[in-house]
Structure 1
Amino acid sequence: MQDDLLSTAEAADFLGLAKATLNKWRVERADGPKFVKIGANVRYRRSDLAAFIAENVHHCTAGYLHRPA
C-alpha cells in the first residue's frame, strides 16, 4: 500500500495548523509529527499525521500535562 507524501503546506492543512508551526516543531520539538527528509525536501506521510492526531486525543484537560513548546 502506498502512503502519500505530503508537503509541509499540505500537512499543515491536514492538521489545521500553520505551516510555520510545523517548521518550528521540526527544529524545537521531539514530540511533533514524524517527517521524511529527502534531500532538501521535507515530507510527511499521511499515516504519520493520522497517528500524531490519535496520540494527542485527550478526554479531559485536568489530566493533561502541557508539554513545553
Structure 2
Amino acid sequence: MKSNVGNIDKILRILVGLTLILLAILGTVGVWGWIGILPLATGLFNFCPAYKLIGINTCKLKK
C-alpha cells in the first residue's frame, strides 16, 4: 500500500476517530460513534482506500 494520506490529514483523522470512539464509549452519540474506527485506522496506516478510488493524494511526494 502506497501512502496517500498527508501529515495534517493524518492528525485530523486520528483526532476525529478517537473523539468519535470516546463519545461512543461514554454513550453520548450512540452506537454509530464506533464508525470512528475507520478514520482512526486510515490515519494510523497512512492509507485511505476511498482516496485511492477517486484519485486523491494528500501525501507530499518524496523526491
Normalising TM by the smaller chain, what interval? under 0.3
Higher relative CO (CA 8 A, sep ≥ 6), structure 1 or 2?
2
TM, length-normalised to structure 2: 0.27
Is the strand fraction higher in 1 or 2? 1
TM, length-normalised to structure 1: 0.26
